[in-house]
Structure 1
């Protein structure tokens, strides 16, 4: 078979002119050795097609082995999980929030039927439903999604190991083609691969131990603890916190004491006033139900501190609106309203500042309605 031009041969394989160069008797392909050749009188290099085919196969195998060596030198991928980028988590969270919204609306309707749909109790109920829904997703669904993500990560690691095995088999074939000096390199690579595999297995077990520790701390302390390479860093995330069961016990005791003090104060105030009007009694009942709802919140881990100022402001706006509407409609007299505010202050339902603010609203309304200042 007649010799063919090496450049034309390689261009027929899909390579570009600038990827084919010549250096000291060697034809280079993408700056890597392809074949030895001596330029002819016309400056071109030629070769037997069969030998060029063999050289091309050797080049491809060498290129694959270079890729294998590059992969071995790369750091092992570390497992990570971001719920914000997980569509499954976002879907579960969205479904829970929509369900909670429906449940909250239904609860508001039921409270509205009792005449307290716009009260603080309704707002608190809706917030609690939302919080329980999100907590349920994070407690029950999120750990499953993390485990699924880790399973996919582990499967990818296994696939990478299998690809490395195939590269090692290719290395053996490459050696059999006559690259004698590659034998020592292959053995070195095999040792490196085996050592890396053992190291990776140890790293996987260590990572799983870190995940198990984080899950245990999350369950014990009731917060999300992220896995850390250093166990001390995992424990630092719960530093200063009490275990969940201890906090729940203390919250229950605090709630029981709050309930006892509220009932005692309420009974004492009713006894000293000789009983209130039907409206006053109904308002007391509403406050008692609200207190019980707050007790349930305490027993379930305590009300979150976030947005406390905003909730307090909304509470006062609702209280002011309800006070004025009651006075305008005639359902609530000035004296009944004043007595109710002072009773709730004594029972701890209002702070002194909140009570003073409500009394000011009451006096302003009376001055406007009756043309005089009430002191």
Structure 2
């Protein structure tokens, strides 16, 4: 690991433990999946800015840490569910920053990327669509949102759902189907043509703005706000989604590392039947299994990060990492709750909240089953291709 990443990670961890974790009991943290309030977000980010740890994965010259370096820094930011919010390493902003840094024009970067990196604006990624409409979920080829060119503008119509952070966002990236194929557009928010129908009540509650159902009606977007060219939407989506899946793994590994710390401390100090809980084989073995899962998750993340750092899109590798890490961390979170018994399902510690967040993580950015299906298709394709070559 590079010295610069190690130094950043040390500062990030200290900030999360000393400054962010005390906010976990702040009454301004909203419930029912709607995320922390804007005043709390701004307050924590001002402290992060003053401490020199805001958006720590983006370098002062605008460059990006390598994926391996980012893995260490984002893991430390995730030691609290509020850490990525405070440090500006959260989804969807982190993934949107990565995409815009790779494909946006200089003018687009100045107008849309700069405020996100500065922590002054939140963003949203409008891709998923309602199942009831037959729209795109895990299968983006089913996209129903359309765009058509009218002079030097594009007009977009459709519906989106589970759009993280749309409420309160100032920058949007909208995917829509043009005659040439799926395309991406940058939009200023709020816009009266993009209407939030409702903010969904979800099991997780760490994302500012929650997850919204959206109606897009006669949205007019100047042609120079298209990302790339018409029909390049799916290609650009892969530029974003492979690293973004891995970033989820990084952040939630940090959260489960913290849950393990809390459960271990509980098991070492709580006594039952004449000895500490940790000395009971059933409890001690659960903590040992967690240690194994955490280390395997870390190694899987680092391996996938190395692949992405070679310049490959790493689609298959990021799918493998998403499956392996999300399932491993679910086991860790579940065992932490079990070790702590009644305390584990209460709000007395952050463990219960981590459990809820990790359960959602198994679905967001592609459910486990979709990634397995994608990998199975690759296995078949590679095998048949090899057979034809032989």
- TM-score, with structure 2 as normaliser: 0.24
| Higher Rg of the two aligned structures | 1
Greater fraction of residues in helix: 1
Of structures 1 and 2, the one scoring higher in RCO (CA 8 A, sep 6+) is 2
- TM-score, with structure 1 as normaliser: 0.25
